[in-house]
A and B are shown apart, each in its own frame.
Chain A
Amino acid sequence: MKKRRWLAVLLTAVCTVGVLYLAQRLLTPKYQKGIVEGSMVAEYYDETVEHDVVFIGDCEVYENFSPITLWEDYGISSYIRGSAQQLTWQSYYLLEDTLRYETPDVVVFNVLALKYDEPQSEAYNRMTIDGMRWSRSKVEDILASMTDEEHFIEYVFPLLRYHDRWSELNKTDVQHWFSKDPVTHAGYYMRVDVQPELGFPDPMPLADYTLGEKAMGYLQRMADLCREKGVALILIKAPTEYPHWYDEWDEQVAAFAEENGVPYINYIPLQDDIGLDMATDTYDGGLHLNNQGAEKMAAYFGAYLKENYDLPDRRGEPEYDAVWQEKIDAYEAMKRQQYDELAQYGELVSFGANAIEE
């Protein structure tokens, strides 16, 4: 009798944990349509080949560089580990995380995020961190990123964070209860639509142009880590002009680069060299490049990489060919779908704002 009671306790406990686990999977956002940025970080773990170049940063990397072009033009196997408003320390910890799986020749970091020195937004934190596999890097990332309203345990058990979504569950949540579809192309977020740049408001003068200590500290750690691992670090500022990149910031990054013996390239003044036409190469009025722009940017950047770094041309290596061919197919298919939608509806319907499920 006594034994049977304990058995019941045990069984109930197991079932409860099971139910809670299922609920957690169901209630956690899937980031499959519309807002896909939350899927980006996790997708990396599905990669099967190594990458010679890894980009880390925010939207200024994952929307502005097409790894497919880098492959097609130069045989460079690359990946973008970016996510929405990825803060500097989040980039650092993603770098740590990446280095646990592979050691690329080159790591490229986009410096825009240096303007933020404090945790910014719970939503972005979750999109950036939730997809990471558990490791010390993730733990430290969470601790460095949490806003006041957040709790560590809500990262351990996302159900505690997302339980409230029970009333807004949609078809995607059920469809992708246990599996997710890839949303990026080696970390690249594709948009083929066009919304020309019409100018930006004047930048606000700042009282203090010094880049924050925390952000710069993590940039230093990034440089140190790369040095230690024998990885070449390249600092870039993507060619897009909004949010404004102040000259004073530029100087500080340039000074940092010089001190640490790493290159720093600001691509804003190089728009013409790249061949960017911001009337046609952006999908959101100049904030980010569209597919056409990202391909131009990748072609330009690839040439720089080839010239300055001894990167292998992987084309012809069967393993790489197979993997990248698959990526190219998916890339071209999505491109076609997007152009078809543009032709048919005048705007994208399965991507971006129109695809967000209420």
Chain B
Amino acid sequence: MKKTITLLVCALTVCALLAGCGGGGGGEKTPAAENTGASGNAAPVQSEAGSKYVFPFKGAQVAVNAPMAPLVDALGEPGDYFESESCAFQGLDKVYTYGSVVIRTYPQDGTDYVLSVQLRDDTVSTGEGVYIGQTRDDVVAAYGEAADETDAALRYVDGDCTLTFLLTDGTVTDITYTADAV
């Protein structure tokens, strides 16, 4: 009996040790993959990565990597619109200007998606209430310490979006949501 217990204890210890190897390993599943269970590959649910950084504008929620068409429906015709054909007809890059806000798109499989959202003056502010003209400390108060900070910029990353605050002498001069490569 004693031997059984000893062996069992040894076995469980090894178990625990091995299980503790997590984290550093190469092939562990991400929680997202876990969610889809083993059917993940039979029916992979598209990564709804998204980001908590979303720009509220004219009653719409503007998010990077979202399709542009519904946004145009919601925001109306832009004040200014520019498009440029990329080399060898790989699609149109489009720039929609709505007053203080500039939305750029990229094409993929025939649909335009939001590439970036740029806030250009203090008449608009981010979802967390930051606007141009505020100080670095205001940004940090709203967003916490930046993932990446230089004298010229504060950068926050969440999901598929990078939110950048450009600074000149500690004052916010430009705010841009940018889609990370998907």
**Residues of A near any B CB (own CB < 8 A):** 34-35, 37-38, 58-59, 84-85, 121, 123-124, 127, 199-202, 204-208, 242, 284-285, 287, 352-353, 356
In the bound complex, what is the Cα–Cα distance between A73 and B164 (angstroms)?
A: 50
CB distance A204 to B87 under 8 Å? no
In the bound complex, what is the Cα–Cα distance between A356 and B90 (angstroms)?
A: 11
- Taking the closest CB of chain A, its distance from the CB of B59, in whole angstroms, is 24
- The list of the 3 closest CB pairs from A to B, nearest first, reads A207-B153, A84-B87, A84-B88
A201 and B97 contact, Cβ closer than 8 Å, known pairs A207-B152, A207-B153, A208-B152: yes
- Taking the closest CB of chain B, its distance from the CB of A289, in whole angstroms, is 14
Chain B interface residue bracket vs A: 20 to 34
CB distance A208 to B87 under 8 Å? no
In the bound complex, what is the Cα–Cα distance between A199 and B95 (angstroms)?
A: 12
- Taking the closest CB of chain B, its distance from the CB of A343, in whole angstroms, is 23
CB distance B88 to A35 under 8 Å? yes
- Taking the closest CB of chain A, its distance from the CB of B98, in whole angstroms, is 12
CB distance B87 to A284 under 8 Å? no
The 8 Å CB contact of B89, one of A121, A204, A208, A356, is: A356
CB distance B116 to A204 under 8 Å? yes
CB distance A124 to B87 under 8 Å? yes
Q: Chain A contacts of B95 at CB under 8 A?
A: 201
CB distance A205 to B166 under 8 Å? yes
Determine the residue in chain B with the shortest Cβ distance to A206. B166
The 8 Å CB contact of A37, one of B88, B116, B176, is: B88
Q: Chain A contacts of B120 at CB under 8 A?
A: 202
- Taking the closest CB of chain A, its distance from the CB of B55, in whole angstroms, is 15
CB distance B153 to A37 under 8 Å? no
A201 and B88 contact, Cβ closer than 8 Å, known pairs A207-B166, A208-B153: no
CB distance A287 to B176 under 8 Å? no
In the bound complex, what is the Cα–Cα distance between A127 and B86 (angstroms)?
A: 14
- Taking the closest CB of chain B, its distance from the CB of A293, in whole angstroms, is 17
CB distance A127 to B88 under 8 Å? yes
The 8 Å CB contact of A207, one of B82, B88, B90, B150, is: B150
B136 within 8 A of A: no
B71 within 8 A of A: no
CB distance B174 to A201 under 8 Å? no
In the bound complex, what is the Cα–Cα distance between A35 and B88 (angstroms)?
A: 5
26 contacts between A and B (CB under 8 A): A34-B89, A35-B88, A35-B89, A37-B87, A58-B87, A59-B87, A84-B87, A85-B86, A124-B87, A124-B90, A201-B80, A201-B102, A202-B102, A204-B118, A204-B176, A205-B166, A206-B166, A207-B153, A208-B150, A208-B152, A208-B153, A287-B84, A287-B85, A353-B85, A353-B89, A356-B89
CB distance A124 to B88 under 8 Å? yes
Q: Chain A contacts of B152 at CB under 8 A?
A: 207-208
Q: Chain A contacts of B87 at CB under 8 A?
A: 37, 58-59, 84-85, 124
Majority-rule SS of B interface residues: strand
Q: Chain A contacts of B86 at CB under 8 A?
A: 85
- Taking the closest CB of chain B, its distance from the CB of A127, in whole angstroms, is 6
Majority-rule SS of A interface residues: loop
Q: Chain B contacts of A356 at CB under 8 A?
A: 89
Q: Chain A contacts of B164 at CB under 8 A?
A: 207
Q: Chain A contacts of B118 at CB under 8 A?
A: 204
CB distance A207 to B85 under 8 Å? no
- The A-contacting residues of B in range 54-92, CB under 8 angstroms, are 80, 82, 84-90
CB distance B97 to A123 under 8 Å? no
CB distance B173 to A207 under 8 Å? no
Q: Chain B contacts of A207 at CB under 8 A?
A: 150, 152-153, 155, 164, 166
- The A-contacting residues of B in range 112-158, CB under 8 angstroms, are 116, 118, 120, 150, 152-153, 155
CB distance B88 to A242 under 8 Å? no
Determine the residue in chain A with the shortest Cβ distance to B102. A201
Determine the residue in chain B with the shortest Cβ distance to A288. B87
- Taking the closest CB of chain A, its distance from the CB of B136, in whole angstroms, is 14
- Taking the closest CB of chain B, its distance from the CB of A290, in whole angstroms, is 14
**Most chain A C-beta atoms within 10 Å of own C-beta, residue among B97, B166, B173:** B166
In the bound complex, what is the Cα–Cα distance between A207 and B173 (angstroms)?
A: 11
Determine the residue in chain B with the shortest Cβ distance to A40. B88
- Taking the closest CB of chain A, its distance from the CB of B140, in whole angstroms, is 16
Known pairs A84-B90, A208-B153; list 4 more (Cβ under 8 Å): A35-B89, A84-B87, A123-B88, A284-B85
Determine the residue in chain B with the shortest Cβ distance to A34. B89
Determine the residue in chain B with the shortest Cβ distance to A37. B88
In the bound complex, what is the Cα–Cα distance between A208 and B166 (angstroms)?
A: 9
In the bound complex, what is the Cα–Cα distance between A352 and B95 (angstroms)?
A: 22
Q: Chain A contacts of B102 at CB under 8 A?
A: 201-202, 204
- Taking the closest CB of chain B, its distance from the CB of A83, in whole angstroms, is 8
